[in-house]
Amino acid sequence: MSAPQAAGAALRLSGVSARLGHREILRDVDLEVPVGSRVGIVGVNGAGKSTLLRVLAGTLAPSTGTAYLAGADGRLRATHELTSRERALRVAFVPQEEVVAADLLVGEMVALGRVPRTRPWSFGGDGERAIVADALGAVGLADYIDHPCDRLSGGERRRVVLARAIAQGCPMMLLDEPTNHLDVSWQLRLLDTLAARAETLVATIHDLDLALRAFDLLAVVGWPDGTGGAGGPATVVAFGTPIDVLSSAHVELHFNVGSVQVPHPELDQPHLLVHPRKDIAAP
């Protein structure tokens, strides 16, 4: 099967199913991420959001179907045909829970993102240190470059890992729950900060109100009947603009809560208010 032409696609999944061990998590997923977009992935816990992100990033091979990644020339190539280094030059991937090595300095941790782009004898030079310092500045940790990693708070560790992704210098950034462990201020600033450093951004997100306001497109991972699948594989059940994807009908079906979109009184953006469904009695 010949690879489809990119036609503005940064990432594409065609007929993809994915397994973890003996369990099929996703089935028959077709998804295209446009170049230059911010795409959020939402869904209930256990639906397969992280699995979908790993397939897009190329760290998990589909059990069926094909995942494609756009190269520097804009042409899509099957991710299984790429080396780890080729993927690392195109995609910076940050999993949900990243272990930060306690025996490293913050600057050394962030510099690991430069490995795909540096030759052994250039690692640690002035130019590389400047890139690391710039990445740390982007996440508000400019003064932490020589700080031991084992003295960081949970939120600081998360920002250091994101700084490493920025330092990687990729046109695509894929993030699993990037706002985890962050205070409210950084939750609001983070996605804008990261999108300014990458051409295309894809992130799983737990907060539906933030998803409504911070992305161009949303993909809902779930089951078409909204029942939870009884342990069966999920798929992408909705994809489109946040206002359409997070309609009250979709939110009720796929998240089992009531909701209403309301305009912000001062800003040109909607907010999503959620509430318990009226037809379900409180426990």
Whether the CB-CB separation of 164 and 138 falls below 8 Å is answered with no
Average pLDDT in the chain? 90
Whether 3 maps to a domain, the answer reads: no
Say what the pLDDT of residue 6 is. Answer: 43
Average pLDDT over residues 185-210: 91
Judged on CB neighbours under 10 Å (0-12, 13-18, 19+), 212 is: buried
pLDDT at 283 over 60: no
Q: pLDDT tens across 113-136, in order?
A: 998 887 654 556 778 889 999 999
Selection from 37, 62, 61 nearest residue 203 by Cα: 37
- For the record, the structure tokens of 187 come out as 């939750």
pLDDT at 2 over 50: no
Whether the CB-CB separation of 174 and 57 falls below 8 Å is answered with yes
Say what the pLDDT of residue 45 is. Answer: 92
Q: Radius of gyration of the chain from Cα atoms?
A: 19
pLDDT at 278 over 60: yes
Say what the pLDDT of residue 3 is. Answer: 44
pLDDT at 207 over 90: yes
Whether 280 maps to a domain, the answer reads: no
- Domain range for 175: 9-275
Say what the pLDDT of residue 4 is. Answer: 45
- 122 or 157, greater pLDDT: 157
Say what the pLDDT of residue 281 is. Answer: 56
Average pLDDT over residues 143-152: 94
Q: pLDDT tens across 96-111, in order?
A: 877 778 889 999 999 9
Please report, for the domain that includes residue 223, its CATH number: 3.40.50.300
Whether 237 maps to a domain, the answer reads: yes
State how far the Cα of 268 lies from the Cα of 264, in Å rounded to an integer: 7
Whether 2 maps to a domain, the answer reads: no
pLDDT at 280 over 80: no
Secondary structure (H, E, C), the chain: CCCCCCCCEEEEEEEEEEEECCEEEEEEEEEEEECCCEEEEECCCCCCHHHHHHHHHCCCCCCEEEEEEECCCCCEEEHHHCCHHHHHHHEEEECCCCCCCCCCEHHHHHHHHHHHHCCCCCCCCHHHHHHHHHHHHHCCCHHHCCCEHHHCCHHHHHHHHHHHHHHHCCCEEEEECCCCCCCHHHHHHHHHHHHCCCCEEEEECCCHHHHHHHCCEEEEEECCCCCCHHHCCEEEEEEECHHHHCCHHHHHHHHCCEEEEEECCCCCCEEEEEECCCCCCCC
Whether the CB-CB separation of 140 and 167 falls below 8 Å is answered with no
Q: What percent of the chain has pLDDT over 90?
A: 74
Q: pLDDT tens across 163-189, in order?
A: 999 999 999 999 999 988 888 888 888
Q: pLDDT tens across 14-68, in order?
A: 999 999 999 999 999 999 999 999 999 999 999 999 999 999 999 999 999 999 9
Number of domains in the chain: 1
Strands 23-34 and 172-176: unpaired
Say what the pLDDT of residue 97 is. Answer: 79
Say what the pLDDT of residue 240 is. Answer: 97
Whether the CB-CB separation of 58 and 91 falls below 8 Å is answered with yes
Say what the pLDDT of residue 179 is. Answer: 87
Whether 282 maps to a domain, the answer reads: no
Whether 212 maps to a domain, the answer reads: yes
Selection from 225, 175, 221, 212 nearest residue 195 by Cα: 175
